[in-house]
Amino acid sequence: MIKAIVFDFDGVIIDTETPLYQSWQEIFKTYDAHLEISVVTRLIGTAESFDVVQHLEDLTGITFDREKLNAQRRKRYLSLIDDSPLMDGVADYIDAAAGHKIGLGVASSSDRNWLTTHLTARGIIEKFGTVKSRDDVAQAKPAPDLFLAAVEALGVLPEEAIAIEDSANGATAAKNAGLYTVVVPNDMTRDLNFDHADLRLDSLAAMPLAQLVQHANGDGASKS
């Protein structure tokens, strides 16, 4: 019986991943270079980093003032995120969970300050019974630690929870933790392999919470 839902944050609650790619791509174009989307997508859902400036230097042969370039890129990135609404269906799920007495949590490979800042800015942080970040666990995704920490904090068993993810790394973490795993890919992750997930949706708006819970509880829980 499903008692909780654990959301990933980046790309699931708000789209921070498209702005990340866009903000870097704009800089690359300034120097007649191109940032392959695969460079970004392979890191989504993990705490792993990639030296994008070094990549740009390798492509252009230019040595950049890293502090200045990173500050410029981050300013643009944050302005794009500030304009990002909640992803389709997220607000409906949050509201419906209260009516169904389903606990809510967040499990993200981002740091705690990032999560609390954006959840607070959108007025939804109090809706979640727990918010787990990479600061709370030994290993971020694709290790299962974050999801295990979240369900423990919510007082439920892994098999009593649904994970909502947008990345292959996140789906791996959720499945290895024992949660029913739903993937909702965005424009950045749409072409990744999600064969290991239990269910794939185009958006949360495509399936009401009550119907998803039925799927997870075994009533028609086939992949789509």
208 and 112 together in one domain: yes
113 and 186 together in one domain: yes
47 and 10 together in one domain: no
123 and 174 together in one domain: yes
37 and 10 together in one domain: no
Q: Is 202 part of a structural domain of the chain?
A: yes
Q: Is 129 part of a structural domain of the chain?
A: yes
Q: Is 206 part of a structural domain of the chain?
A: yes
DSSP-based three-state secondary structure for 130: strand
Last residue of a domain, one of 44, 63, 82: 82
**pLDDT digits (tens), the chain, 224 positions:** 999 999 999 999 999 988 988 999 999 999 999 998 887 776 665 555 678 899 999 999 999 999 999 999 999 999 999 878 999 999 999 999 999 999 999 999 999 999 999 999 999 999 999 999 999 999 999 999 999 999 999 999 999 999 999 999 999 999 999 999 999 998 888 888 899 999 999 999 999 999 999 999 987 544 44
Residue 52's domain comprises: 17-82
136 phi and psi, to 5 degrees?
A: -100, -5
33 and 51 together in one domain: yes
76 and 123 together in one domain: no
Which of 200, 193, 194, 165 lies closest to 179, judged by CA?
Answer: 165
How many domains does the structure of the chain reveal?
2
Which of 7, 14, 142 lies closest to 86, judged by CA?
Answer: 14
Determine whether 8 is an active site residue: yes
- Do residues 2 and 102 make contact, with C-beta atoms less than 8 angstroms apart? yes
List 10, 15, 145, 166, catalytic entry: 10
Determine whether 65 is an active site residue: no
Computed from CA positions of residues 135, 137, 142, 146, in that sequence, does the dihedral angle turn out positive or negative?
Answer: negative
131 and 199 together in one domain: yes
pTM to 2 decimal places: 0.87
